Amino acid sequence: MNTNNVSKILFVLAIGSFMNCIAYTSDLLQKPNPVDPATVTVKPKVFLKTSFKIVANGNNAPINVAFQNNWTNAIVGKAKNIGLFSEITNNEFATDYVLDIALEDNGEANQALAVLTGLTLYIFPSTASDHFKMTMTVYDGNGTKIGSVFKEEKIVLWQQLLLIFGMPFYYFPSTVRETQDALITSTFAEAYHQGYFSKAKPKKK
């Protein structure tokens, strides 16, 4: 088999994989109002805490290190780039705010249906979902709770042969990345609009 034929086959397989699988969000997350860093005249230092919980079909599941690192990096990156803070500090005891961010990934899937989908070459459909829930609790430098924000979004993955009606196709990893960014952005924006980053009390001496 020559190189051209191999390339054609790989191209067809790639297109076929897109046509067998689409991902979409459930629109639980409303678009946040924009953040204006100029309104924060004195930008505070913040300390970030992150925690993660994974639930699979109602049962707690081990946390994948790559999953944890991916979300942690995304949260830290957003905190650095959103323009509201002067520094992301590593010292919990020398900070203006502590942002305690907890993420729960609640996954639902029917493994038997997924196997049946594969055995029938995607003729028989199956679905799976990831329901992401993010809670940010804001504390001042004394450890006093200022307020909290809760945001959520759900991604549904649908697998079936020739999902022409689903065009344009949304590739699952790209949908997850977009949802991740939207969820984190919305959480920070809500805390900002609630005034949680301008309510720090004087630190105890």
What pLDDT, in 10s, does the model give residues 36-45? 999 888 899 9
The confidence score (pLDDT) of residue 72 equals 97
d(CA 47, CA 90): 6
- What are the distances in angstroms from CA 77 to CA 70, 73, 112, 160, 205? 11, 6, 39, 36, 32
The confidence score (pLDDT) of residue 175 equals 82
Strands 45-56 and 87-88: parallel
Enumerate the domain spans of the chain. 3-198
What pLDDT, in 10s, does the model give residues 132-173? 999 999 999 999 999 999 999 998 876 644 544 444 444 567
Kindly report the pTM of this predicted structure.
0.77
The confidence score (pLDDT) of residue 5 equals 46
Fold of 3-198: Rossmann fold (3.40.50)
pLDDT at 205 over 80: no
Q: Which helix (H) or strand (E) holds 196?
A: none
Q: How many CB atoms lie within 10 A of CB 52?
A: 15
